[in-house]
Structure 1
Amino acid sequence: MNSETSATEALASASPDFPVAEAAVDLAADPADPAALAAAEAEAARLAAERQAAQEAEDRAAAEREARLQRLMQRIAKHADFASMKDSTRLLQKIARSENAHARALSGAISDDVAMTAKLLRLVNAAFYSSAGGGSITSLQRAVALMGFQTIGMVANSLMLFERLPKGADGNRLRQEFGRAQLAALLAHQFCNSSKQLDGAYLIALFQNLGGMLAGLHFADDMEAIEAALQARELAEGSLAWQEGREKLAREQWGQGLEDIAIEVARQWGWPESVRMGMRTLRPSNLERACSPEEYQRVLCTAANDLAAQLLKLPHSGSPEERAEARKACVERFAAELAVPLGLDPEPMPEAVESVKQVWDDLAQTLGFGAVVAAPAAAGKSSSSSKPAKPGDLATPANKAAPAPAAAAPRPAARPAAANPAMAEALSSALEQLSEMVLSGAAPGQLLQLCMKQMHEALNLQRVIVCLRDASHGGSYLKGRMGLGERATVLAPLFDIPLAPPTELFGLLCSKGADTLISDTADPVIAQRLPAWHRQQVRAGTFVLLPMVAGGQVLGTFYGDRAEAGTLHISERELTLLKTLRNQVVMAMRFGGGKG
């Protein structure tokens, strides 16, 4: 019996998938057969030895990969500027992760590099806040307040790398790579239809090709040989076959792929794990269904990089009309393949790409990262056309119903409202005042009060109400906490908004982080989704809702209304200013801007 037990245990330890119970029954049927016992024990020993050998081989391979990776890191570290950049980026990340950090600390760390500071301000003005600041944001402290600690820290990282690229012809290819990464980042941010992943889309798309830039900077000869081999195979640069071939040749050359190199450098720089995981490219597993939430961001950023490469490869010759048609055809091919996995509406995409390219052209000129390529114009449409709707865009009379589920394609936005100079000026003034309060460490409650007051005055609203997450209900409800305007303090307690699951329009919009303007609450589609207390007691004809969301969690919402339907109009510029006001309050609530 002892032999029978040891044989069974040996089989179990050697191979968990082995049918141990059947083997034990067979042995028990003839316990007196020593040949059978010996054979079983020999087989178990063989399996155990094979398993141990396989594990040892895997451990040796892993150790060799790690050793080769560290040798690569040592080669990179020999470059004089790498150590200083590593110290700078780790300092930025340390400040960005600190719950007690203030904008002055981060801007002080960045300001040590005067040239990079100037380029960073150009980037903020051109790409992020040209509407909010009119292209005149000159204070780095204000830029930090507007963009947030983590975002500005990592954008600063990218510019630090750009500043270290060699001058002249040797660095031209790398500057073009940086330019492509910037275009991909802007496209990913434009196309992203997930409010929870919107902030990360720009950064991850920007850094998905960090390995190629690092290798071109530190292993220039090796990279030149790799790219020459790809050209000999007549692979189209930027194509999937080209990318896969480059990764394979990199592994043959260094024992590590370019993505592995980039992720290890990012780890040493102290970048967050969420960004490092997103830096691995991923293509959709099924072109006929929407991506899962887990794969969406990586697929989006990979697709944005692919599209950026395709756009920048288009010929520069020919008439403007011919170039426009070529660009439009390129975007349409992209949409035909990836609109479903990414949940995009194909029709407005050429116009969306046009608006992104206009921003990119400005960055290319101011930062000097490559040839400027003219933006395509959609046939028969002007360059001022609106962008496709996504979480954060206002729902207007043409798309005022509740947002579609995440898997559905977002609807195109309606024609934007005409700008109101007085409203924009009032909101700009409010933004300046709020920025100063954020930088001075004002408490979130003070910022909420100020933002509520400024919205009430600038938009000439009947009332403004602030709702915040109610901890007594497990955080699954928003409750009206403060109000300003006609009967606002009386009506605020009526705002009881369920989030999980949302059972009416307010909860649905807040849970999706969708900034929304409802022009006519009497519309049958809207009226049936509004809670009874709003229809019967608030009785507003039109309202705007600006949810406060951070890290995927709904913190609260701003609500403002007017009595008469169709009287509230908000242009794209005014929306940008409203979002910026709201985002500064969210940043203070999340990271702490004071003591309460």
Structure 2
Amino acid sequence: MTSSSGTQERDADALPPPDAEAPADAGAALEAAPGQEAEAATAIDPEEAERLAAQREAEEKEAAEREARLQRLMQKIAAHADFASMKDSVRSMQKVSRSEKAHTRALTGEISNDIAMTGKLLRLVNAAFYSSAGGGSITSMERAVALMGFQTIGMVASSLMLFERLPKTADGNRLRQEFGRAQMAALLAHEMCNSSKHIEGAYLNALFQNLGSMLAGMHFAEDTAAIEARLQAEGLVEGEPAWHDKREKLARQQWGLGFEEIGVEVAKSWGWPDSVRQTMRSLAPSSLERPAGPEEYQRVLCTAANRLAGDLLRLPGGGNAEERAEARKACVDRFAAEMGVPLNLDPEVLPAVVEQVKLVWDDLAKALGFDPVPVPAKAKTAEKAPEKAGSKPVEKAPAKPAPAPAPAARPAAAPAPANPVMAEALSAALERVSELVLSGAPAAKLLQLCMKEMQDALQLQRVIVCLRDPASGGLRGRMGMGDRAQELAPVFDIPLKPPSELFGLLCSKGADTLISDASDPVIAQRLPPWYGKQVRAQTFVLLPMVAGDQVLGAFYGDQAVAGRLQIGERELRLLKTLRNQVVMAMRFGGAAPGS
């Protein structure tokens, strides 16, 4: 994302080469290139030249004024001692997390200097990422880093540092509620994310879309209160398009920067990567009638999660538990009616997902000390039909052609009966795989263990691992476990560019998928010929291994009989975490075997 401000650099091709002789005057003829006719240069119009010079001067002046406003604002923020100490801590962690030679102990040493914060950070990690997957069993910073990576842990720690520095005043209490809202948004984004390419950053990016508001509330409490009083006096309701638009406008009038811009600039001073800073800016979907494209999905998801969190926390807090649950469901239904298509959400599953997030959020509120009581609405809002994307106050992505429809496959996240036996087996598997990751075992050994654990926990007849083939750029079966797995592994040949059949489409999209009946005509026609001729399994699960935009490989597991394999929500999260550990090891431990 490029900035709209600042002076545009002139095209280097328009400048004469260093050894060129300058013309005697502006109307002099230029020599033509060899083999071409000489043409007289058009004399420069004095009025046009003056206009261009004035425009350039105005642009330079605007850029200088913006930079001066930014510097004054940052100086005011930096004048607070807490901010200076936090900046040093955050930059130190970021330096460690970006180092390719960094060891786990280097980062955990930075965090573990404060024992109390370490305990809270582990509670946050367990609640935010692994409440079901790890069962709250992540008890050391070393294991947290092994599971989540250096950068993620460093940024989660940064959010906790910010929360810990909130003043013990009425303004501080209000900001704690704002921090709680951001945490709920982050949890929602993580759970609603349907793309394995974006799942790694969904929590953090949704959390830090709120950074500018938190910082402004901390360092410019009176100005922020005045802006909010102005919004309330004008009858604007928090969360609605007009409220957001006017709030950013008033902030720019007051400070020269909007709330979001403040967060982005501070994140830049902390050394956060550009990929994170880009997603800190809110974004509405380019269309409500088709799925968000890959270039906008993450920002749209995080923006929507923040909006849903605000709507949920502004619901009235009265009535019994059942009435409050019904109010939440109605709120979620309205949200799904508008954002279900852009975010590829299942409206039948979403209310249950939100209820689960609410339970995790309540526990997190107790652990960290922010108020879980819903914030009363500032004004009553009548229910209304979903608004068009063009009415959003946030930046709108340019309209693009609708992506090809996804294959008619049943997502692995579809509801299924809970399976305590499977969940317990996967939890134990997660513990064993985590220990192997911490030991620094090679990727081949880790893949072998994961295959065995998946086969045992899911009672699969076979598991096959496909890895990227450097020669073709696609995926090829490299190893297998179970019935004829070693024999069938080489048969798996999955093109990715372009994907020409179901496996390639799903892996390119990073879509974790469970096919209950491979004989269904809609599914069968998308399967490659070799599958029907040689594999012939009637139900299978596919878990792509994706890091950023690169598909590293995929886990495939199957059952002979259609409908035999069912995976509930908790089991799915455990399975994804198992897969994600392998991806983490492949990213930080070098190339996978056979790549």
The TM-score normalised by the length of structure 1 is 0.82
CA deviation after TM superposition for structure 1 residue 59, in Å = 0.8
Alignment of 1:384-423 (within 5 A): 405=405, 414-421=414-421, 423=422
Residue 132 of structure 1 aligns to a residue whose secondary structure is coil
Supply the AA of the counterpart residue of 1:432: E
CA deviation after TM superposition for structure 1 residue 347, in Å = 4.3
Say if 1:340 and 1:409, in contact at 8 Å, map to a contact too. Answer: no
Supply the AA of the counterpart residue of 2:501: E
The corresponding residue for 2:439 is 440
Say if 1:104 and 1:439, in contact at 8 Å, map to a contact too. Answer: no
CA deviation after TM superposition for structure 1 residue 479, in Å = 1.0
Alignment of 1:54-453 (within 5 A): 54-373=55-374, 405=405, 414-421=414-421, 423-453=422-452
Distance 2:299 2:372 in 1: 28
Supply the AA of the counterpart residue of 2:537: A
CA deviation after TM superposition for structure 1 residue 9, in Å = 9.4
Supply the AA of the counterpart residue of 2:447: L
Say if 1:343 and 1:410, in contact at 8 Å, map to a contact too. Answer: no
CA deviation after TM superposition for structure 1 residue 407, in Å = 11
CA deviation after TM superposition for structure 1 residue 410, in Å = 8.9
1:511 aligns with 2:508: yes
CA deviation after TM superposition for structure 1 residue 532, in Å = 2.9
Say if 1:541 and 1:563, in contact at 8 Å, map to a contact too. Answer: yes
Q: Which stretch of structure 1 is more off in the superposition, 281-290 or 105-114?
A: 281-290
Segments of structure 2 that go 5 or more residues without pairing to the other structure are 1-22, 31-38, 376-402
Residue 94 of structure 1 aligns to a residue whose secondary structure is helix
Residue 266 of structure 2 aligns to a residue whose secondary structure is helix
Distance 2:96 2:269 in 1: 16
Supply the AA of the counterpart residue of 2:525: Q
The TM-score normalised by the length of structure 2 is 0.82
Q: Which protein shows a greater Rg?
A: 1
Q: Which stretch of structure 1 is more off in the superposition, 355-364 or 532-541?
A: 532-541
Distance 1:348 1:77 in 2: 45
Say if 1:494 and 1:533, in contact at 8 Å, map to a contact too. Answer: yes
Q: Deviations over 1:27-86 (max 9, x none)?
A: xxxxxxxxxxxxx97xx2122112212211221121121112112211211211212211
Give the 3 Å change call, closer, same or farther, for CA 406–76 of structure 1 in structure 2: farther
Distance 2:308 2:137 in 1: 31
Say if 1:102 and 1:441, in contact at 8 Å, map to a contact too. Answer: no
Residue 556 of structure 2 aligns to a residue whose secondary structure is strand
CA deviation after TM superposition for structure 1 residue 481, in Å = 1.1
1:479 aligns with 2:480: no
The corresponding residue for 1:464 is 463
Distance 2:584 2:92 in 1: 20
Say if 1:513 and 1:547, in contact at 8 Å, map to a contact too. Answer: yes
Distance 2:459 2:285 in 1: 47
Supply the AA of the counterpart residue of 1:241: A
Distance 1:193 1:408 in 2: 15
Give the 3 Å change call, closer, same or farther, for CA 266–490 of structure 1 in structure 2: same
Q: Deviations over 1:391-431 (max 9, x none)?
A: xxxxxxxxxxxx9836999979544133142x433333332
Distance 1:438 1:492 in 2: 25
Q: Deviations over 1:287-312 (max 9, x none)?
A: 44443332332222222222222221
Q: Deviations over 1:525-555 (max 9, x none)?
A: 3333333333222333433222111112111
Q: Deviations over 1:114-139 (max 9, x none)?
A: 22221221122223212222223212
Structure with more helix by fraction: 1
Supply the AA of the counterpart residue of 2:436: M
1:532 aligns with 2:529: yes
Distance 2:512 2:424 in 1: 21
Supply the AA of the counterpart residue of 1:281: S
Distance 1:164 1:469 in 2: 46
Q: Which residue, 495, 499, 517 being the options, matches 2:496?
A: 499
Give the 3 Å change call, closer, same or farther, for CA 348–439 of structure 1 in structure 2: closer
CA deviation after TM superposition for structure 1 residue 471, in Å = 0.6
Instruction: Say how many residue pairs are matched.
Output: 535
Work out the percentage of aligned pairs sharing the same amino acid: 71
